[in-house]
Structure 1
Amino acid sequence: MEYRTLGRSGCAVSNLALGTMTFGTESDEGVSHAQLDAFVESGGTLVDTADVYSKGVSEEIIGRWFADRPDDVTERVVLATKGRFATVPEPNGLGLSRRHLTRALDASLRRLGRDHVDLYQVHAFDAHTPLDETLRTLDGFVQQGKIRYYGLSNFTGWQLMKLVQVAAALGLEGPVTLQPQYSLLVREIEWEIVPAVLDAGLGMLPWSPLGGGYLSGKYRKDQRPTGDTRLGEDPDRGMEAYDRRGTERTWDVVAAVQEVAEARGVSMAEVALAWVTDRPGVTSTILGARTLEQLETNLRAGDLHLDAAETERLDAASTPLAADYPYGELGVQQRHRDLG
């Protein structure tokens, strides 16, 4: 495991993070605690959850793990959670208003059994709440000692930059991280979001780095998923739905990952994780696993670095198609400035 700072902060975290969305649904409490133990024993430090994961049960499971383990173990953990989405069915039960975020954070702290979290992330943009209200609320959490830092999740490039600039203009604490979906199958964030992240000095915490399981090799072309997998249980599930994501480009990328993995003598998951972990701006890649065995395989990617030829092979297979303008070849030519 290697260590990097949370964006422009001085807080160091492991280059792989443990995502806990499976806790309480796909992974029972025993498996969840075993994953936490294995992650920390491997040198992992960043544990990521959210108030909506398993309707709060994920946070409760993590809270009981903290209570059951000695301080010399739990003190290694940099704990992150999120708030924004609905946890109660009422008009003020969601969003980035002062009212909702204050109640959401206090509820998360109760479930976690902590008096603070290290990283509090707003789970998505909220067009109905003025940014200054959200920013003053987050700054207040820092001043009160309820959070050490805050970050963003699922923001577009313009939303991120607007928030960063408003925070600076008001003299308030700024964000240190962005948590986007990022993998060999989802590279469109490189057009606007990654440049915005780099310009603002944030660190990225990619989620779904295995593309919903496709990059681990568990799904096959022309063979609808079956059995004990997420898509096997529900082929139409979310962003990774088989009929949506099972494109020719996807299978080309999967084939490239398999090729590199076989030549290296490692798993496909390790290759896909290593690729995204070493992308510009990435601080820590979030692992999500149902079982302890899956997590242990993925943790081996913490020390894996691809060489230039391997990276070029994967880049070529996964480059997203863009229209000529503004992100395609003609748009790039139009913005190019040749000083030669």
Structure 2
Amino acid sequence: MEQRTVGRSGLRVSRIGLATHTWGAHTDGDGAAVQLAAFAEAGGTLVDTSHAYAGGAAQAILGELLDAVVPREELVLSGCAGVLAPLEPPLDGLPPRPPTPDASRRTLLRQLDRTLAALGTDHLDIWNVGVWDPGTPLDEVAATLDAALSSGRVRYAGVRGYTAWQLASLAAIAPISVAQTPYSLLARGAETDVVPAAAHHGVGLIASAALAGGILTGKYRDGVPADSRGADEATAAEIRHRLDERATRVVEALVTAADGLGTSPLAVALAWIRDRPGIASMIVGARDIGQLTGVMAAETLELPRAIAAALDDVSARTE
């Protein structure tokens, strides 16, 4: 798998990253081990984790697999911090609180230490501030990143889900190397502001939600599969809201392109985002090894310019 340099840093990551958000929820430890082994064997290095995934179960599974399945030093581990409750247990006798942004020094460093302990490692290769917190001074966030980097517990600092002005504001005073942002054929808003802001500050971009919740795989062309996110009560509203006329046009274009190239719509969608300016990698998850094999097929797919241009046109917003 090809390795790319992230922004103007010296960090190199595989241009497909392995998401672990299904681990501990839809993927058990054995299935996760198979995924990680296959990903590493194919040359994949970037592995995305969070204390939020499956209530911490994903990190626990990953921690058991490091060195046992793949040597820790062969992977680029990316984690995050910055959200409180219900990701952390409520005090005894109190009801769970809603998720709360908290990028204070106290919370960020506490969650970093918990992540390191769960993974059984002494450092994260990428550590992201996972939320914009208007209640914490930006100088404090920057100082916290400096402290984590200086201590050796973090190799490169980043952010997740920041808008362009938020990214630019922090990058102006902190050594930000990475920004993870939603980006797909159905979510191209980042091109307007986040992509140029990242380029200006030398920040490398990692695309998340590159398959738009599975819509770009074509699985919803003939209805909502029973085992899909569209059928899951927790995510159904979000998926169904995005199944509009534009999504239909994009998916049909992907199907046509895939038929002509002898591959899948999923692979075409990922190859398109992989080749966008400024993208260092994209984080993609899979429930099982079959899905992961389909994802990794995008690595060797080269999109003809005419097809890439057609996808640009059909996915462009006109309003």
For residues 101 and 132 of structure 2, the distance between their equivalents in structure 1, rounded to whole angstroms, comes to 11
Partner residue, 1:100: 107
Q: CA deviation at 1:199?
A: 1.2
Partner residue, 2:76: 78
Percent pairwise identity: 39
SS at match of 1:206: strand
Partner residue, 1:231: 230
For residues 215 and 93 of structure 1, the distance between their equivalents in structure 2, rounded to whole angstroms, comes to 31
Give unmatched runs, 5+ long, in structure 2.
Answer: 92-96
Superposed, 1:182-197 pairs within 5 Å as: 182-197=183-198
Q: What is the identity, as a one-letter code, of the residue corresponding to 2:243? A: G
Q: CA deviation at 1:232?
A: 2.4
For residues 231 and 289 of structure 2, the distance between their equivalents in structure 1, rounded to whole angstroms, comes to 20
SS at match of 2:158: strand
Aligned length: 310
Q: CA deviation at 1:260?
A: 0.7
Q: CA deviation at 1:12?
A: 1.2
Q: What is the identity, as a one-letter code, of the residue corresponding to 2:225? A: T
SS at match of 1:166: coil
For residues 100 and 161 of structure 2, the distance between their equivalents in structure 1, rounded to whole angstroms, comes to 19
So what's the TM-score if we normalise by structure 1?
A: 0.88
Are 1:2 and 1:303, in contact at CA under 8 Å, matched by a contact in 2?
Answer: no
Q: CA deviation at 1:29?
A: 1.0
Partner residue, 1:170: none
Aligned pair 1:276/2:283, yes or no? no
For residues 165 and 286 of structure 1, the distance between their equivalents in structure 2, rounded to whole angstroms, comes to 26
Partner residue, 2:146: 139
Partner residue, 1:21: 21
Superposed, 1:302-321 pairs within 5 Å as: 302-321=299-318
Q: What is the identity, as a one-letter code, of the residue corresponding to 2:305? A: A
Are 2:8 and 2:203, in contact at CA under 8 Å, matched by a contact in 1?
Answer: yes
So what's the TM-score if we normalise by structure 2?
A: 0.93
Counterpart pick for 2:168 among 161, 173, 179: 161
For residues 175 and 301 of structure 1, the distance between their equivalents in structure 2, rounded to whole angstroms, comes to 28
Superposed, 1:1-340 pairs within 5 Å as: 1-69=1-69, 73-86=71-84, 87-88=87-88, 89=90, 94-167=101-174, 174-220=175-221, 223=223, 225-234=224-233, 236-237=235-236, 239=238, 241-242=239-240, 244-322=241-319
For residues 155 and 195 of structure 1, the distance between their equivalents in structure 2, rounded to whole angstroms, comes to 13
**1:229-260 alpha-carbon deviations (Å, 9 max, x no partner):** 22123385363x21x10110000000111111
Q: CA deviation at 1:308?
A: 1.1
Are 1:59 and 1:108, in contact at CA under 8 Å, matched by a contact in 2?
Answer: yes
SS at match of 2:144: helix
For residues 318 and 309 of structure 2, the distance between their equivalents in structure 1, rounded to whole angstroms, comes to 17
From the superposition, tell whether residues 236 and 27 of structure 1 become closer, same or farther in structure 2 (CA, over 3 Å). Answer: closer
- Alignment RMSD (CA, Å): 1.7
Give unmatched runs, 5+ long, in structure 1.
Answer: 168-173, 323-340
Q: What is the identity, as a one-letter code, of the residue corresponding to 1:276? A: I
Are 1:210 and 1:216, in contact at CA under 8 Å, matched by a contact in 2?
Answer: yes
